[in-house]
Amino acid sequence: MTLSLEQIRENNARARQLLRRSRDQHFAVGAFNIDNQETLIAIAKAAKKLNSPVMVELSKSEVTSMGLENVRDMVDNYKKEYGIEMYINLDHSPTVEDCMAAIDAGYEFIHIDISQGNHNATDEEIVKGTREVVEYAKYTGAVVEGEPHYFGGSSDVFKEAIDYEEIKKTFSTPEGSKAFVDATGIDTYAAAIGNLHGKYPVPKILDLDLLQKIRDVLDPKTFISLHGGSDTPLHYFESAAKIGVSKVNVNTDLRFAFRTTVDQVLDANPDQVSVAKLMPQVENAVQAVVEEKIKAFNSAGKAII
């Protein structure tokens, strides 16, 4: 079902109100990646159980797999069925054209990441592409997120330890954060403070003092997001929400729960060929991860339907 322009603008206005609420009430909204319907159902059930607002999000590969418009319809269907506050975020989109397509499809949150498609993109190229998306999004009111350089890690399980001396070279700076926001006009700034994508043999360490300095120099109307929300001690998110982070992205923890539980279920049911009969246990495992994050983000009980 294609949304009308009026419906898209109304949804986007609600999305902006959500981030304002998160900033005022000191909670962060969980943005959870999906690459199948079972994960979407698990997120919806967790949102319903804890009365929490949530975002589901798709990166380039997930859009290719599931379909931009198809996910819009699925989210709208489950939002209505469960009676929940749920939005869609286009995650780390590498091109302006892909962002425009998602804006046209009624995605409320758009993350333009020029460096994702080209790790060697210049500052000028990143600013130019980001500004194009910001301008295009004004027609519908979609919330635009950006970042000034390639973000470390990927949504995988790593065996090597984290080299924080190297990672620190990619950290955001207060001055650089403000300059990028001012140059692009984005609504949400993706801060890099040690929050790597993926799972590692040792827990991640977030520089909350740096996060506070970034929050202090940005316009209060600018929102802050943290990517790499997997495999991170939960107390960091509790503190980050108090400092003013409005959105936390989670991907690998969901994928890991899904994959490991699928393996267990298959081993326990070698003769079962009905996938539908195998999925409830998998959905429950993913839902448990989502609920854990929601509680840490302090977003439980914050939904407005």
**209 and 243 Cβ atoms separated by less than 8 Å:** no
C-alpha angle 187-34-20 in degrees, rounded to nearest 5: 25
**53 and 11 Cβ atoms separated by less than 8 Å:** no
- Count CB neighbours of 14 within 10 A: 15
Rounded Cα distance, 208 and 80, in Å: 37
Strands (E), 26-69: 29-33, 54-58
Rounded Cα distance, 247 and 260, in Å: 27
The question of whether 91 is a catalytic residue gets the answer yes
Which class for 117: exposed (0-12), middle (13-18), buried (19 or more C-beta within 10 A)? middle
Rounded Cα distance, 143 and 110, in Å: 6
Pick the closest to residue 56 from 70, 77, 35 (CA basis): 35
Annotated active-site residue in 91, 98, 104, 253: 91
Pick the closest to residue 283 from 43, 32, 88, 35 (CA basis): 43
Tokens coding 266: 């298959």
Query: Cα dist. 80→76, 138, 290 in Å?
Result: 6, 27, 20
Catalytic positions: 91
